[in-house]
Structure 1
Amino acid sequence: MLLCTMAFLCSCANFGDDDDRAQKTGADVYVYDFEDLGIELLKNNEYISLNYDSSGIYGLKKSNNDGHINYSFSRIKNGQTRAEEILIGSGNTRFDYLCTDNNDNFYVLRTIYPDKKGVDNINDDYEYSGKGEKKLVKYSPSGDQIWAAALTTQDAAGYIRDMAYVKEIGILTCSTEGLSLYDELTGEGKAIVSKDKGDIHGDRELLVSPDGTVYAVETDSSWKYIVYEFDTKKMNLGKKYNIPKEVPMGAKFFTGTDNDFYYIDKNCIYAFNKGDEKTRKICDLIDSAFYADNIVLLFEKSEDEYEIIADYNTASSRAFSMRKKDSQSDEKKSITIGITTSDSYVRQQVNIFNQENREYNIILTDYTENSLLGYHSAYGRLLEDMQKGKGPDILILSSYSDMCDLRSKGFLEPIDSYLRNDVEISSNKYIENIAGAIKENGKQFAIMPYFSINTCAASSEFLGDEAVSLSNYRNLCNKHNVKIQNVMGTMNFAGADILYETSGFDFIDIKEKTCDFQNYNFINLISLIREVKRAEDSDIYKPLDSNCYIENKSMLLPYVISSFEDYRIIRDGYFKSDIFFNGYPSIGGGISYIEPGMMLSINSRSEYKEKAYEFIRYFLLDEYQYSIEWGFPVYENALDLLMDKSTRARYYIDDSGKRVDTNSTITIGKREFVITPLTTSEASYMKEFICSLNKLQYRDPEIVSLISESVKPYYIGDITAEKASSLVQHRIEKYLKDNNS
């Protein structure tokens, strides 16, 4: 989303008046109550510009309907929950930036290209080599064009980076060449500041305060922020003020009334005035139990009352009011969530839960922050807390191996009885093999809302009905004239860990904590990897490209499948022939793995198990299951909907009301491939394949590292394959024994 350009890159720290906080009484000194205003701003749309003015929220909206782009001016007036939209262009027209005046007129930068390619093939307006006609355009509140002004020579020579309305004067633009001012009534423009005056690093941005004062914020030669107040009499940058030194690089600034400026990091909101040496903490978002991926907008309504727009990486943004918490209000009981993988829906649902619940608050602990490799990774930090009895009530896990480890240590609560007694869930039909795969000894310890598939595809026309395994790949290479080092296509030696993570785990019984690497199948596995290394080390080495499957130079394509459309990409994009899913070569054939998207569990020592279940159940319900766009939902009806959707052509309605079919494209090597709909039989085959899987991928980086280190001497010729397999056996046996407690 283009809103991501407004993301806050700074890290949380306690700046300003921590001593002042210590002198105040009450834990709620920086705590606010948040209320969702019921406005869904973003859903499969992008706001190029989004802001507040005296009339409410307004934005420049870009809607992409299967390749057909529309631009609209969107406004949500104060007290309303639905947006009023005015279509201002589509086709070969592009719009950038947006500001409004005191009469609700709005101004945009418009570029008209000679053809639609000018809009389709660029991320940034100025990367397109074609000639587009750029003008600054003024529209009335109803969307009628009032004037379209040619850019100043200065703006036309560079490109505009920001613009702002100067009260009763006109539009101030900030370009790579300097500042220009356009008359409010006529649009006539003139350059007022050239680029050699300030803007050392090209990061100048324009801010407008509620009273109409315009500021320019940028960094100086020491990379410290400074701010200028625009002088409307001299028509140039006026007095310069320093911004407190603790404000980090990448901060996004907002203006206010009680405070001149605000900025937000991931966890806190701070304020300062012109000339202040320190910032003041206004709100601690974590203490307030409020979570978002980014906060992209803040508007000060009155003292201790604000409106914000929170952005989630789910193509959705929500507007909230925030008010200083009443010190006399009842304290809520805290339920904690520990996350080892980031999911925007979790943050959204936490906010919904907290607002709907008068007795409980959910507090997030993000173990992915500041995590290091090895034991001090996100999971290592979580496990340490669990072992100390300080673990969170709810656990959001990133892998099946983490869930198994916690379950074996007795830290996870079985949730079978919760699911059976939940009428809404027990009456739904979930994919049986997926539901069965997640169970351990007949019990379920986690909810897995969605999944992908890690597999290897092969050409059925090339290989016939022969599955590639660790025992037969050499024979198949000889039979089909494929070099052994090319079995896995473009996989190189540096990427060989993918075989340790998949085929390598076929030699381990995780449940029984045993392993058997001293056999010819494992030797065949490391022999294959050695052939890859030998080929790379040779003087005549020439790596394969993506055409290797079409040219029958390789047999297996490793691929993570996350949609039905991936079938078309694999079949017609890579192979151009009928395919089957062989899986990774294993002892008895090939194995395809279920790759969990995330796993939600309940701490067996939690005091709030019922409430914990009340939260995690949401991820099995219709609202979430039907929202899944990457990966496969576990609710069968939601899966069937995706299957049906994959067989139908995508389309949009053009400006004349006609239906226009369209398809997505993907680049494979140097080829652009058009993804056409699946046939009914192809979609059914994909579902049958999904319903045939029964093995979750067990990812343990420590085991992978031990295998890799143990076999390294074999690859450089220092030891035999038998010796390498013996080393692996010894080290993995010891690791499993040490971790069986």
Structure 2
Amino acid sequence: MKIKGILKRGLSFAMVFSMAASVLVGCGNSKKKNEESVLQKESSGSKEYVYKTEDINLDGIDFEGANICGLKSVGDKIELVATYKDGNAKVVTFNPDGTDVQSSDFSINKDEELSYVTIDNDGGFYALREAPKGGDASSEASTDEDLPTASDKFSVENKDLFIEQYDASGKVVNSFACPDKSAGGYNFNVFNLAISGDGKLYVADTEGIQEVSFDGGLKTVIDTQKSDSPYKESYFRIYDGKDNQIYAYDFGGTDNVFKFDPAKGELSEPLEELNEVTDFGISFFGGAGYDLYISTGEAIYGYSAEKKEAVKLINYIDSAIELDSGISTMTAVGDGEIVGAIPGFDYKYSLVRLTKVPTDQVKDKKIITLGGIAIDWRVSQEAIKFNRTNDEYQIKIVDYSNGENTVDGSHDEAIQKFDMDIVSGNIPDIMVFFDEQPYKKYQNKGLFYDLKPLFDKDEDLKGIKFLPNMEKAMMTDDGKLYSVFNEFLIGTVLAGQKNTGDKKTLSYKDCDDIISQTGNKYDLAFGPMDQNTALEYGIFYAGDKFVDVQNKKCAFDSDEFKKLLEFAAKFPAEIDYEKLGEDSYSNYGSGQSLFMYKQLSGYTDYRTLKRAILGDEISYIGCPNDEGVNESVIIPDWRYAISAQCECPEVAWDFLKRFWYDDFYAKRNYEYGFPVTESGLKFVADNSMDNPYTINESGEKEYYTDSYPIGGTDVKITPLKQEEVDYLTDFILSVDKVDGNDPEIKKIVTEEAAAFFSGQKSADEVAKIIQNRASIYVNESN
């Protein structure tokens, strides 16, 4: 599981607010000192990273509907290039304080786009121009026939690419038409542009890094396609640093940063000192001071080549800068001063000046720490809003999966760091658990604050209606509310109704009969499935049937578990991927695969399953069992809990409850997870009955028709109808069990079940051993 960037948006949306800079002092004083504590490291020293923001208003320049696609210091001026949806564009120069504004207008075709604008030292610039081979995307909801498909809209195959040189007024001086195909026969694509000290232009593309000659074409300097290349399968972006030094970032493979020497055609050894700050969504920019500036999803760093170190300069949340991904439209103009163009949450660019606030001028606030792994970007947005309006408290986000906090960036290491903090008493005030973490082991140790009294008396929640099965899913058996979630998936087994009829559940014999009647076998009937995975799903989707953590009981010695063991044994020990084929979903269309273990993530997920993969009405039958029970489960996405040690639980709750508000759900520009509120669920359901869309730089919706590749053909995915939405909604509301995920239980079961699968032990013997081991674990860990 790649934990960073799962919920990062495709674009960086931000808003900068002019405000008095504020930072943190401890909300609680009970935390123990621990030199290895990520929590203490991340929640201290924040005064050093606070910058204030000021809007720069340029006389006569309106950025409404603009995309600022390039910005750089040129001498003592700053130059930017902005394009507008109507095809108009501007080159603007100004002093860093916003005075002496000069602008030139030029135009591009309405359906074309300029990107990767790279400004030279004379005020001219280079850019990539993209022109559609067919028509442009429609900004009006229309019939499916009038809209481009997803492949038409997003595939570079359907675009003509031109690398162009413009003078300081925006006039095209030179143009080079990029090839449609690369030397390897695949689609040619451009990643960005950079200019060397001697004025030569270089492009990072699917071939590697190439020198651009408008007369002679492209000359490969760093080849990423040759079989013997040390950079084979790398994908680079290149950036201008100080003194025209070009840096190359391998965003497609190693995440390493190199110095690029165009004259020698060489890359340096990887700059290991940057490994901690390179991550998903990173970008770079240049300017005065440091050799290179790195903009990540959380902060801006300055890189000193001489000292071989990256120094944190700005923390977005501490400085109330609403960024969640790196941007390159910035330039450093002096010590502690940066000018940047930042796209807002409302898709409006703000031109701002960031200046460092002396630490003695940073207002103290009480800190509320929020700690977790791969934290949702919307949580960061809400933290900034909260911090901006609260004069006494400030949310400090501590992401244990941040590159600075882990060595290899794995979720296992991040979980270990999280556990170490908790064991040593360094407990975040608000804890965030993703779906693979066994949160109950913390809950049953008394680490969580009971939120039920706060929930019941909160007037702001009186107008919010929760799905009837969600409140129950969050509560414990004794009526406590130790953790909450705002979105969830549904774990189930599904099948086409042509095989299951109107059945709501399937027994093990039902599965045998359907597989036999259709002439299939267990090796493909459930898609890519082996013995261990089938067994794990059977436990995972059984809720607390086999493991009741709250009451410290296990039931692995039951007849139900022994039957599950026998069912899992029918699957192959290992998946035969050659037989499965490269496109395993196409086996459902051919009838070789019948059932699917699925974590359903939304209405659009259902839409794809019905329209393309199964091509049939869907039955949600849950895991097979002989009890006549539909074993489908609620899988919370992120869970949030407040520490029992938190000295300001009411304030922490005031922050958490925002995740149930409609505007929080409305921030999603894709669907992953069902909202727990009625209005939130209706919002995503209504969206599924319309065509999908993207938001352009002007804030307008551009619709397209979704599609899904099956068997080498793109199948068009049309919007759902109301009766289809109602069918899925009824199923969602019928599920009332929560998943039984616990990695340690999974490990115990799979270790011991191997003896049964290999024929060394009987189901009774194995069940007894698992019961003993699991019972010891549950009692000791809870």
Asked if TM exceeds 0.5, the reply is yes
**1:189-338 matched pairs, under 5 angstroms:** 195=221, 205-207=238-240, 214-217=244-247, 225-226=258-259, 246-248=273-275, 253-263=284-294, 270-271=301-302, 276-279=306-309, 281=311, 283=313, 285=315, 288=318, 293-297=324-328, 298-307=330-339, 321-338=354-371
Residue 30 of structure 1, aligned match among 38, 48, 65: 48
Q: CA RMSD in A?
A: 5.2
Residue 58 to residue 714, structure 1, CA distance change in 2 (3 Å): farther
Distance in structure 2 (CA, Å) of the matches to 1:193 and 1:484? 54
So what's the TM-score if we normalise by structure 2? 0.71
Distance in structure 1 (CA, Å) of the matches to 2:682 and 2:272? 55
Counterpart contact for 1:299–1:307, Cα < 8 Å: yes
Residue 89 to residue 478, structure 1, CA distance change in 2 (3 Å): same
Q: Does 1:110 align with 2:129?
A: yes
Residue 497 of structure 2, aligned match among 460, 472, 491: 460
Look up the equivalent residue of 1:725 and give its one-letter code: A
Q: Does 1:713 align with 2:755?
A: yes
**Higher mean C-alpha displacement, 245-254 vs 458-467:** 245-254
- State the SS of the aligned residue for 2:572: helix
Q: Does 1:99 align with 2:118?
A: yes
**1:269-668 matched pairs, under 5 angstroms:** 270-271=301-302, 276-279=306-309, 281=311, 283=313, 285=315, 288=318, 293-297=324-328, 298-307=330-339, 321-368=354-401, 369-370=405-406, 378-379=414-415, 381-399=417-435, 402-440=438-476, 441-466=478-503, 467-470=505-508, 472-478=510-516, 482-493=520-531, 495-496=533-534, 497-503=536-542, 506-533=545-572, 545-586=584-625, 587-628=627-668, 629-649=671-691, 662-668=704-710
Counterpart contact for 1:295–1:308, Cα < 8 Å: no
Q: Tell me the alpha carbon deviations over residues 306-336 of structure 1, each in whole angstroms, 9 at most, x when there is no partner.
A: 2467899999998873423341444222221
Distance in structure 2 (CA, Å) of the matches to 1:147 and 1:262? 30
Counterpart contact for 1:110–1:134, Cα < 8 Å: yes
Look up the equivalent residue of 2:332 and give its one-letter code: E
Look up the equivalent residue of 2:687 and give its one-letter code: K
Residue 475 to residue 732, structure 1, CA distance change in 2 (3 Å): farther
Distance in structure 2 (CA, Å) of the matches to 1:531 and 1:487? 11
Give the C-alpha shift of residue 105 in structure 1. Answer: 6.4
Give the C-alpha shift of residue 621 in structure 1. Answer: 1.4
Identity %: 20
Distance in structure 1 (CA, Å) of the matches to 2:406 and 2:448? 25
Structure ranking higher on relative contact order (CA contacts 8 Å, 6+ apart) = 2
Report the equivalent of 1:51: 71
Counterpart contact for 1:568–1:678, Cα < 8 Å: yes
Distance in structure 2 (CA, Å) of the matches to 1:280 and 1:571? 50
Give the C-alpha shift of residue 345 in structure 1. Answer: 1.4
Report the equivalent of 2:29: none
Look up the equivalent residue of 1:306 and give its one-letter code: I
Counterpart contact for 1:164–1:214, Cα < 8 Å: no
Look up the equivalent residue of 1:469 and give its one-letter code: S
Distance in structure 2 (CA, Å) of the matches to 1:677 and 1:646? 6
- State the SS of the aligned residue for 1:458: strand
Distance in structure 1 (CA, Å) of the matches to 2:484 and 2:556? 33
Residue 645 to residue 258, structure 1, CA distance change in 2 (3 Å): closer
**Higher mean C-alpha displacement, 131-140 vs 468-477:** 131-140
Distance in structure 2 (CA, Å) of the matches to 1:380 and 1:645? 39
Give the C-alpha shift of residue 195 in structure 1. Answer: 4.3
Give the C-alpha shift of residue 707 in structure 1. Answer: 0.5
Give the C-alpha shift of residue 31 in structure 1. Answer: 3.2
Counterpart contact for 1:457–1:559, Cα < 8 Å: yes
- State the SS of the aligned residue for 1:585: coil
Residue 237 to residue 547, structure 1, CA distance change in 2 (3 Å): closer
Counterpart contact for 2:73–2:287, Cα < 8 Å: no
Counterpart contact for 1:573–1:673, Cα < 8 Å: yes
Q: Tell me the alpha carbon deviations over residues 339-379 of structure 1, each in whole angstroms, 9 at most, x when there is no partner.
A: 13421112222233333333223223333343899997544
Q: Does 1:677 align with 2:719?
A: yes
Distance in structure 2 (CA, Å) of the matches to 1:196 and 1:680? 54
- State the SS of the aligned residue for 1:499: helix
Residue 96 to residue 464, structure 1, CA distance change in 2 (3 Å): same
Residue 610 to residue 525, structure 1, CA distance change in 2 (3 Å): same
- State the SS of the aligned residue for 1:559: strand
Look up the equivalent residue of 2:744 and give its one-letter code: E
Q: Tell me the alpha carbon deviations over residues 537-566 of structure 1, each in whole angstroms, 9 at most, x when there is no partner.
A: 999999994344445544421222222123
Report the equivalent of 2:781: 739
Report the equivalent of 2:37: none
Give the C-alpha shift of residue 528 in structure 1. Answer: 2.4
Question: What is the aligned residue count?
Answer: 672
- State the SS of the aligned residue for 2:175: strand
Counterpart contact for 2:304–2:310, Cα < 8 Å: no
Long gaps (5+) in structure 1: 5-25, 40-44, 64-69, 183-188, 231-235
- State the SS of the aligned residue for 1:420: helix
Distance in structure 2 (CA, Å) of the matches to 1:393 and 1:646? 37
Give the C-alpha shift of residue 739 in structure 1. Answer: 2.2
Give the C-alpha shift of residue 602 in structure 1. Answer: 0.8
Residue 308 to residue 295, structure 1, CA distance change in 2 (3 Å): farther
Q: Tell me the alpha carbon deviations over residues 424-474 of structure 1, each in whole angstroms, 9 at most, x when there is no partner.
A: 222211212112211112222222111111111122232223321346533
Q: Tell me the alpha carbon deviations over residues 212-242 of structure 1, each in whole angstroms, 9 at most, x when there is no partner.
A: x6443469xxx995577x9xxxxx899x999
Give the C-alpha shift of residue 192 in structure 1. Answer: 12
Distance in structure 2 (CA, Å) of the matches to 1:316 and 1:693? 41
Give the C-alpha shift of residue 597 in structure 1. Answer: 1.4
Question: Which has more radius of gyration?
Answer: 1
Residue 282 to residue 720, structure 1, CA distance change in 2 (3 Å): closer
Look up the equivalent residue of 2:629 and give its one-letter code: G
Report the equivalent of 2:164: 136
Distance in structure 1 (CA, Å) of the matches to 2:568 and 2:525? 10
Distance in structure 1 (CA, Å) of the matches to 2:643 and 2:400? 16
Residue 124 to residue 512, structure 1, CA distance change in 2 (3 Å): same
Look up the equivalent residue of 2:657 and give its one-letter code: R
- State the SS of the aligned residue for 1:409: coil
Distance in structure 2 (CA, Å) of the matches to 1:386 and 1:378? 13
Distance in structure 2 (CA, Å) of the matches to 1:718 and 1:418? 54
Residue 47 to residue 404, structure 1, CA distance change in 2 (3 Å): farther
Q: Tell me the alpha carbon deviations over residues 638-688 of structure 1, each in whole angstroms, 9 at most, x when there is no partner.
A: 21122222223458999xxxx997420112354422111112111111111
Residue 3 to residue 365, structure 1, CA distance change in 2 (3 Å): same
Give the C-alpha shift of residue 725 in structure 1. Answer: 1.8
Give the C-alpha shift of residue 386 in structure 1. Answer: 3.4
Residue 536 to residue 404, structure 1, CA distance change in 2 (3 Å): closer
Counterpart contact for 1:270–1:279, Cα < 8 Å: no
Report the equivalent of 1:9: none
Counterpart contact for 1:3–1:48, Cα < 8 Å: no
Give the C-alpha shift of residue 730 in structure 1. Answer: 1.9
Long gaps (5+) in structure 2: 1-8, 13-43, 58-64, 99-103, 136-147, 224-228, 250-255
Distance in structure 2 (CA, Å) of the matches to 1:696 and 1:661? 36
Q: Tell me the alpha carbon deviations over residues 6-52 of structure 1, each in whole angstroms, 9 at most, x when there is no partner.
A: xxxxxxxxxxxxxxxxxxxx96773323448699xxxxx99895534
